[in-house]
Structure 1
């Protein structure tokens, strides 16, 4: 148990220190294997075989989804369609609603299938301009971007993001599982999160904080943008195809949906491409990095899963007295939090907790929604890849300045939403 917990803590520390996950995850997995006295190179459940089984298995299952999602997002960016959609929303709301405009722009793009990383890159320049016009502290921009991307949209019913699709493989459900409860929870999360975020910003403004310009701030691209409808239509295509084919194709419907979105985007906005080949190259590289980082964490989890300590931990979490959905939520939340990955946490936890709770008669639809929402809560701790990228690389802020608002709207609010979802499943 010391080795398992120590390996997870070490992974968090190395990630916070900026280590590459392709290096830190195998090192931490090796630490877990040695302390658990697992064979390293030969023998049953040896370290190398266990790690690469988890790594390659995740890539084999989700490569095309990551690739097509990255291409779709990059094409939205390269043609200016993402900027056009975001600008349309922002123009309608005005600078007095700067925070709401940023949140809604991110939410629409995310729910339409655009990668959360691409959304952050696309919306940030406009968010910066809006916060500057409204004279709001720029350290809250990461929270606005994250709230619109990885909370009430990413894990909601119907979302094309993989955090809503991974449970399908293990539970035999659909991306619209328990949509009624999901809708209620999403609305509550949006209202609560937006209220809290604006309160934090107002408090900071009342204390004298304001916008501060910096050398090197990005400026909005002045090029001619396509009509906003040409950005909305591909998003509709993705959602429509995933809806029509999810019953017959299962998770493969996501490949069809994203492919349809890419083709629709190419057909509608062909003349607005700046450089399609460069966009494809960047999208491919981005997809490989994204799935590789996640797979590296899944590989770590695969090694941890074959240790006696992991079996003990899972047994403890799944034997928590009371409601089964609570136990499933705790198990997925803890694993997603420790690995800093919602999708990685699901891929590690579901093979263990899925069959356990299905055998106990838990509704697959309810379990799907609880797993999805819970994976998007504690995963947003400081070492999460999206959090680090958004705060440091995109917004050029310090964790000490920006993370607390991010943590409030991406950790606390989803945990509250998760509690509400479980309550609704149990009392209605």
Structure 2
């Protein structure tokens, strides 16, 4: 094995690679939790994988046609940036404009007035769920709902360290992987299994209700206990300065930007499925670019809603642009690590092991996707790596495609939310300005434990019926 000047016996390659991959994952998690910038932690951990896996450091040192550390890491990093930067940019600006216009504060106060501050947490979760199931990317939902969450938690005087947990729970659990969800985590299995987005909807509905109810009760209990211990909302200079007597836009008017995003996205994402629309819209779906158009339209409406606060709009656009760059590069750093990890011999050996798990194929698929999603810190990554290898064998063995689709989708949203997950890092640090020490324990309960229980229930129901 060769990596720079390191030479080992061929028989030691697999063992050293396995130790290196495990150590790199632990190192990445520890550095992330301790607050090391993910832009440093990601490449350092990836370098450890490369060192123990025989990858050359630079392209000139690699053999012809063989990968190297620098190219592989930057390929993953820049690939994600190129695919998603416009969505991050417009999503961040949309969220800032919602805050600067007073729209978030207006909706927050209306919710508190109507359902009481006791349900402020529920309002945040519901807003995230609405956007996620409506088709807005989970990476964008946090930007859009965070201003609303700040005002809700402020009005209710609840500990702000639970805002990331509420955002994550409403975005990446019971909606992201449910039947009918337009999120890519529910759509990827279709191309490998020949299914539809509604595969296994009966079981999916039961599991979604179970996760939503159980997760909310857990989150609410954690918040109530923290309040009883004396924790309260902590204001920051960056919070929008909305005073009690300020004349805010009407709450129903403030919902227009969110409704605009949902409607425009659906119109251009599924024009062929909407009667009477195909004649005036492109017959072909715009795919992810429908989200760019939707966020642009939503931002324009938000600016009009907050026209009386137009003096603060340039600053809001600037904050959004800066926040978008920070958020997407945080995620890119983790994607780059996953790209290098996927090249290690240990990772390939792990794929072979999970592919050959005997017994119920649903259990085998669940374990395989969960493990790979955890290693790469990506739900979609876990699916795209595992399904091409696992799907043909499981289908040949007689596995039901619809059941396999639903299990794979739910499994991808279980262990993917470890501390180094790009969405988690973005939500905790870039969007909410929190630390992992304060925010992640609640996130772990809601995005690791709850989906894992849901996955077990799904497999049990499919097996029984």
> Is TM > 0.5 for Structure 1 vs Structure 2?
yes
1:67 counterpart residue number: 86
Which has the greater radius of gyration?
2
Residues 373 and 128 of structure 1, relative CA distance in 2, 3 Å threshold: same
1:225-240 matched pairs, under 5 angstroms: 225=249, 227-234=253-260, 235-239=262-266
Q: Which residue, 232, 235, 238 being the options, matches 1:211?
A: 232
1:115-130 matched pairs, under 5 angstroms: 115-119=140-144, 121-130=146-155
Q: Number of residue pairs matched?
A: 421
1:45 counterpart residue number: 66
Q: Which residue, 257, 262, 267 being the options, matches 2:295?
A: 262
Q: Is the deviation greater in 167-176 or in 181-190?
A: 167-176
1:242 counterpart residue number: 269
Contact 2:377/2:421 (8 A) holds in 1: yes
Contact 2:211/2:451 (8 A) holds in 1: yes
Residues 138 and 298 of structure 1, relative CA distance in 2, 3 Å threshold: closer
Determine if the alignment matches structure 1 residue 10 to structure 2 residue 27: yes
Q: Is the deviation greater in 363-372 or in 407-416?
A: 363-372
Q: Which residue, 222, 234, 239 being the options, matches 1:200?
A: 222
Separation in 1, partners of 2:156, 2:362: 41
2:4 counterpart residue number: none
Structure 2: which 5+ residue stretches go unaligned?
1-17
Residues 210 and 110 of structure 1, relative CA distance in 2, 3 Å threshold: same
Determine if the alignment matches structure 1 residue 191 to structure 2 residue 218: no
TM superposition shift of 1:305: 2.6
Separation in 2, partners of 1:155, 1:319: 25
TM superposition shift of 1:162: 3.9
Residues 393 and 8 of structure 1, relative CA distance in 2, 3 Å threshold: same
Q: Is the deviation greater in 140-149 or in 416-425?
A: 140-149
Contact 2:271/2:285 (8 A) holds in 1: no
- TM-score, normalization by structure 1: 0.80
Q: What is the DSSP-based 3-state SS (H/G/I as helix, E as strand, rest coil) of the residue aligned with 1:382? A: coil
Residues 329 and 366 of structure 1, relative CA distance in 2, 3 Å threshold: same
Separation in 1, partners of 2:109, 2:130: 12
Contact 1:67/1:288 (8 A) holds in 2: no
Residues 85 and 297 of structure 1, relative CA distance in 2, 3 Å threshold: same
Q: Is the deviation greater in 47-56 or in 273-282?
A: 273-282
- TM-score, normalization by structure 2: 0.75
1:409 counterpart residue number: 446
Q: What is the DSSP-based 3-state SS (H/G/I as helix, E as strand, rest coil) of the residue aligned with 2:358? A: coil
Determine if the alignment matches structure 1 residue 338 to structure 2 residue 375: yes
Residues 228 and 88 of structure 1, relative CA distance in 2, 3 Å threshold: farther
Contact 1:185/1:420 (8 A) holds in 2: yes
Q: Is the deviation greater in 213-222 or in 15-24?
A: 213-222
TM superposition shift of 1:106: 2.8
Contact 2:94/2:144 (8 A) holds in 1: no
TM superposition shift of 1:144: 2.7
Q: What is the DSSP-based 3-state SS (H/G/I as helix, E as strand, rest coil) of the residue aligned with 1:417? A: helix
TM superposition shift of 1:288: 5.3
